[in-house]
Structure 1
Amino acid sequence: MTAARQTRDFVEAGLAHHRAGRGDKAEAAYKRALAKDGKDAAALHLLGLIAADKGRHGRALQLIDKALALAPDNADFLHSAGHVLGLAGRTGDAVARYLAALAEAPDRPLTLSNLGNALKRLGRANDAARHLARAVAIDPGFAEGWSNLGLVHKQLGAFGEAQDAFAHAIALRPDDPDFRYNLANAALDLGEIKAAIAGFRKTLALNPAHGGARMNLATALKLGGDVAAATAEIETALAALPDSHPDRAELHWNLGLNLLLAGDWARGWEAFEWRRKMPGYGAGAIAAPEWTGGSLEGRRLLVNHEQGMGDAFQFMGFADDLARRGAHVIYRGPKAMGPIIGRMTGVAQTIAFEDTVPEIDAWAPMMSLPRALGLFDAAALARGATLAPDPSCRAPYGARLMAAPGLKVGICWQGNPGYQADAGRSIPLAAFEALARIPGVTLIALQKGAGGEQVAGWPADLPLIDLGAEIDGAGGAFMETAAVVAALDLVVTSDTALVHLAGALGTEAHLALARVPDWRWGLEGEQSVWYPTVTLHRQTRPGDWDGVFRRISRVIERRRAAHG
């Protein structure tokens, strides 16, 4: 037998072991082949794949590069190099190798799919979609290709196209739990709650340990209004996870949100603390003892800002409780928020995140204050007006406000579009037209940033004074807005910081809420737990803003009649 034949036999034996999952035996066979012929490109390539399987990416690339030195135009070798570079986190280099492979063999679905995945990781979703669409056009039976195409469509926000691609994948492989999970997520993205619930349950029937499906089933159940069932799913997921599992923090946090939404304040605040263990929690810790309750007499307490601007108005409303316990309260947060938070009752001092922390006795995360204060029932959470506006900040707008006829109603419709649940809470400006059609009412637009562009489409015959583009241009965030809101008759808003500002000012406000709102508004009732002057107007069915605004219109008609 010739040496060349022996080399081929060893390579073929190695391949047989490799395909059967016997990596160690495959490795031995490839090494025997290379002992016969150290320049056998196939053996070098395959031994590189074995190294990649063992996580030895550097060694894998060395071997595959040696194979490519012998056969630089080999599409298989180029593809494998791209695959290992991707595993090593060198995504840009992986793209270059995949493109080189396609230059030699343009119609390889797996290479097109891998290239698409790499481009997706680089944020080039449109390019990724183009290559993945070509992969499944070449091989319509390529289930993973369809699934990968769906994931790219999802990244692009094309949820209908994502749903179609996932359906193709499932038609080819109906018992794949990950394909079912992806399809259920697409349904959730499209607001098809019943289909999403059914999809997540099918996923769990195929793989009961699928943590993502359990968590997202809880989300879908909650959006469908069944908070008790959602809570039960989270508790089931937690019972199945070891204490060290990285998903426990998010599950506990979601459990806390559900408990708070249901009004279980004691258990809710406890579980809500898990937010601080989640990746990306940005508030951090302070080099001082954390205050979790107890005496504050004569102590300097720093309260560290968390999350959004509305959260600051809501939770710094408890500064007065702290001050009445004897604390010197220092708010630490975004620099722009310092002036307005400094006007809240009980706040003695404000500093910016970038400032040096002064001498303090203790600190507390802002959103942990109710727990530390022991506020475990709805009655204990209510606060009256806790913010005094600066009247001088109204001066640039006073004349226009005085000249506006009738009932003056401030409006805001759009939250932060980057917030995960914003699609359910923000409202089209067009929904507010019903209010503007009430005789004797003038709307004052206070929308800033995203959503402000909708004013361009407002009907010319309906009264609207748009202050959003110019307000708060100087002096700190919300300073001018607060002065204007305090001078209005009432406010109508979506779930944004404006409702918290109005509540803190003690201004009458009407909050338009989704069928299942954010945790702080509860599941039923018209009275806000937090603010006596805020009335809650809930959707009776998902997406029905018209019904909400009919009810708000009736309230404003009565107010206008009383106003004269």
Structure 2
Amino acid sequence: MELINSEIQETKNLIQSKKFTYAESRASVLLNKQPGNPKIYELLGDIYFNQNFYKKSIWYYLDASQRDQNNKDILYKLGENIYYLKYYELTEALMKKIIEKDPLYTQAYITLGLAQQEMDNTEEAIMCYEDAININPKEIFAYLNLALIHKKNKNFDEAIKVYQNAITNNPNNHFILSNLGNLFYLQKKYDDAVLCHERAVKIKPDSSIAHFNFANTLFHSGNFDRAKEIYEATLNLSPDFSRANTNLGSINLLTQNFNDGFDRYHSRIFNDPLLKNILSKKKTIWRGEPLAGKRILVCSENGYGNIIQFSRYIPLLKQLDCEIVFSCPMEIQHLFENIAEIDEFVLPDQNYDNFFYWVPLLDLPKILAPNILEQCPQPIEIKVNDNKLEEWEMLLGVDQKVKIGLCWQGDPLNPRDHLNSVNLSMFKDVLSIPNASFISLQKGYARNQILTNEFEKQIIDYDPLIDQGSNKFLDTTAILKYLDLVITTDTSIAHLAGSLGTQTWVLLSKVPDWRWFLNKEDSVWYDNMRLFRQTDHHWEKVFKDLKNDCEALVNNISEIRKETEATSEV
């Protein structure tokens, strides 16, 4: 028996070394020697589980648990395996059975909490993690999962309490410190965030993730020089850390260092879901070689705003005497029907190989006109549906009020969403301006803020009528043509309204996306755009200025319309 146990331990060592083929061979030999030994079945389960072969490992764990019914560890592995197979109710039953056998089995509480989360039983999940912490105050994953629940619910204060409790019990854990720093960062409490990240990096100087999180906080707090220094340190630790290189490029672009900025910003393509298909083909990327007589595939990148803004470089590319195929999501292809320079449309996930080179859309400025401040092309002419123009003319042309479109919420999946979105309550004073009609340009869950802020009488919500078909922005483009003003955060609406020529005011965080650069009120990208910038990471002054300027604009337009109406009557 001692020999068998020794061989089992040796096989476990092979699993830890990820030498799964050798481990499987050893375990098969052991199983032939002792076909009734539950430890060997458990071992085989471990081999397949650690390779994510959950449908295979489950049978060995099941065999092991049947042969050793009082073994809580084997039962736990079976339950964890079932969790990964997404049978959450069965996971719940098994974890509760383990806890009944052993009320101090910490891992069972954590996996039970995960299963409860998957079944949307948030309160039960919270209790599971709290129980795990009470049993073992050093259980890191319980703190992290509990804080994540509060963070998802935007209950940041509770999440901070969880992390602070975790640090009290685990004072030298860089992972908790880094997560707490990220939470302070989301709240724009940059001084607190910096302190957390500095401690995390000091505790774990070889962690590229800790350095990356630290650099992000420095970047968005406005400490660009130190941020660049920490991004460089991140890349020294992990040279292939593409997001660190991308962010370093963003700082350089934001501060108008275009050459180095574009070179580093190119790394963004390795994290873009729309480019995953083309990157897998390992085709030749265009870097400025002669294109005469050749076909080039221009690939859209993630974000409708990116596609709308940078499509302006396609006509410039056509001057190189090439044939252009534009890879673009189906739902917005209709916007680009007026670009005669596009010879063919394809989809990002389409199996298409009829091209000589390919190029990411946002690489075009670097190659064609790298000095954006002096060489920026005009926006392309967005296609607007004539029938939709007629429909919305009837709906919007009912009075002479100044019509103002509002967009306050960006994409919640965007890492910059906490910077690109504001709560609708900030518009309260703006909505009190007389002689103006305010029209929501929001789709989706952000519309709920109209109800929660009781703005139903101040804001017209056409959502049930807007963009209901497969074509994105089909109604929105028509609406934008009839508005006197659009007020928006940094969203695709800004680029759509800017391209359509509608007067557009964009609300920007103190450290905006690089494309807006720093300090100036106007935009090199759109002549009809004005930028309202934070000066202190807060929105109060922005909205005070916004209200005053908007009121003045409404009064001016109203007076002009009155004069025009009086003249026409004469």
- Would the TM-score normalized by the shorter structure come out above 0.5? yes
Is 1:326–2:321 an aligned residue pair? yes
CA-to-partner distance for each residue in 1:17-58, whole Å, 9 max, x for gaps? x9xxx99xxx9xxx9xx9xx97998x9489959977996999
CA-to-partner distance for each residue in 1:317-366, whole Å, 9 max, x for gaps? 11221233334444321222121111247445444457775955543222
Distance 2:122 2:441 in 1: 35
CA-to-partner distance for each residue in 1:241-282, whole Å, 9 max, x for gaps? 2x4x5xx12221222222222222222221121122237454
* 2:407–2:489 CA contact under 8 A, matched in 1: yes
Where does residue 549 of structure 1 map in the other structure?
543
Is 1:442–2:425 an aligned residue pair? no
Is 1:183–2:169 an aligned residue pair? no
Query: Are the structure 2 counterparts of residues 94 and 293 from structure 1 closer, same or farther at C-alpha, using a change threshold of 3 Å?
Result: same
Is 1:278–2:278 an aligned residue pair? no
1:156, distance to aligned residue in structure 2 (A)? 5.4
1:310, distance to aligned residue in structure 2 (A)? 1.4
Query: Are the structure 2 counterparts of residues 467 and 299 from structure 1 closer, same or farther at C-alpha, using a change threshold of 3 Å?
Result: farther
Where does residue 370 of structure 1 map in the other structure?
365
Where does residue 212 of structure 1 map in the other structure?
209
Query: Are the structure 2 counterparts of residues 446 and 112 from structure 1 closer, same or farther at C-alpha, using a change threshold of 3 Å?
Result: closer
Is 1:171–2:175 an aligned residue pair? no
1:139, distance to aligned residue in structure 2 (A)? 4.6
Query: Are the structure 2 counterparts of residues 410 and 153 from structure 1 closer, same or farther at C-alpha, using a change threshold of 3 Å?
Result: closer
Unaligned runs of 5+ residues in structure 2 are 18-22, 560-570
Distance 2:516 2:106 in 1: 50
* 2:246–2:267 CA contact under 8 A, matched in 1: yes
CA-to-partner distance for each residue in 1:465-508, whole Å, 9 max, x for gaps? 43343133458332332233233322211111111012212222
DSSP 3-state at the match of 2:206: coil
Q: How many residues align?
A: 534
1:445, distance to aligned residue in structure 2 (A)? 2.6
DSSP 3-state at the match of 1:404: coil
Where does residue 4 of structure 1 map in the other structure?
none
DSSP 3-state at the match of 1:135: helix
Distance 2:517 2:549 in 1: 21
Where does residue 562 of structure 2 map in the other structure?
none
Query: Are the structure 2 counterparts of residues 475 and 176 from structure 1 closer, same or farther at C-alpha, using a change threshold of 3 Å?
Result: closer
Where does residue 264 of structure 1 map in the other structure?
257
Query: Are the structure 2 counterparts of residues 51 and 547 from structure 1 closer, same or farther at C-alpha, using a change threshold of 3 Å?
Result: closer
Alignment of 1:309-388 (within 5 A): 309-344=304-339, 346-353=341-348, 357=352, 360-383=355-378, 386-387=381-382
Where does residue 484 of structure 2 map in the other structure?
489
Alignment of 1:68-79 (within 5 A): 68-69=65-66, 71-79=68-76
89-98 vs 311-320, greater mean Cα deviation: 89-98
DSSP 3-state at the match of 1:78: helix
Distance 1:53 1:285 in 2: 32
1:208, distance to aligned residue in structure 2 (A)? 0.4
* 1:514–1:538 CA contact under 8 A, matched in 2: yes
Query: Are the structure 2 counterparts of residues 52 and 182 from structure 1 closer, same or farther at C-alpha, using a change threshold of 3 Å?
Result: farther
* 1:184–1:196 CA contact under 8 A, matched in 2: yes
Query: Are the structure 2 counterparts of residues 385 and 438 from structure 1 closer, same or farther at C-alpha, using a change threshold of 3 Å?
Result: farther
* 2:274–2:349 CA contact under 8 A, matched in 1: no
Query: Are the structure 2 counterparts of residues 147 and 318 from structure 1 closer, same or farther at C-alpha, using a change threshold of 3 Å?
Result: closer
* 1:143–1:170 CA contact under 8 A, matched in 2: no
* 1:409–1:492 CA contact under 8 A, matched in 2: yes
346-355 vs 328-337, greater mean Cα deviation: 346-355
260-269 vs 142-151, greater mean Cα deviation: 142-151
* 1:48–1:60 CA contact under 8 A, matched in 2: no
Is 1:535–2:530 an aligned residue pair? yes
Distance 2:151 2:424 in 1: 27
DSSP 3-state at the match of 2:316: helix
CA-to-partner distance for each residue in 1:192-242, whole Å, 9 max, x for gaps? 32212111110111110122211111111122122232222111110222x
Distance 1:91 1:213 in 2: 31
Distance 1:187 1:409 in 2: 34
Distance 2:334 2:51 in 1: 55
DSSP 3-state at the match of 1:418: coil
550-559 vs 152-161, greater mean Cα deviation: 152-161
Distance 1:153 1:354 in 2: 36
Where does residue 477 of structure 1 map in the other structure?
472
Aligned pair partner of 2:495 in 497, 500, 505 = 500
Amino acid at match of 1:554: N
Distance 1:524 1:117 in 2: 46
1:70, distance to aligned residue in structure 2 (A)? 5.0
Distance 1:197 1:10 in 2: 53
DSSP 3-state at the match of 1:450: helix
Query: Could you tell me the TM-score, scaled by structure 2's length?
Result: 0.79
Amino acid at match of 2:446: G
Distance 1:57 1:260 in 2: 41
DSSP 3-state at the match of 1:325: coil
Where does residue 563 of structure 2 map in the other structure?
none
Distance 1:309 1:131 in 2: 41
Where does residue 3 of structure 1 map in the other structure?
none
Where does residue 134 of structure 1 map in the other structure?
131
* 1:384–1:506 CA contact under 8 A, matched in 2: no
Amino acid at match of 2:410: G
Amino acid at match of 1:267: D
Amino acid at match of 1:551: D
Query: Are the structure 2 counterparts of residues 559 and 205 from structure 1 closer, same or farther at C-alpha, using a change threshold of 3 Å?
Result: same
Query: Are the structure 2 counterparts of residues 124 and 82 from structure 1 closer, same or farther at C-alpha, using a change threshold of 3 Å?
Result: same
Query: Could you tell me the TM-score, scaled by structure 1's length?
Result: 0.80
DSSP 3-state at the match of 2:429: helix
DSSP 3-state at the match of 1:469: helix
Where does residue 447 of structure 2 map in the other structure?
452
Query: Are the structure 2 counterparts of residues 127 and 468 from structure 1 closer, same or farther at C-alpha, using a change threshold of 3 Å?
Result: same
Query: Are the structure 2 counterparts of residues 444 and 95 from structure 1 closer, same or farther at C-alpha, using a change threshold of 3 Å?
Result: closer
DSSP 3-state at the match of 1:263: coil
* 1:269–1:371 CA contact under 8 A, matched in 2: yes
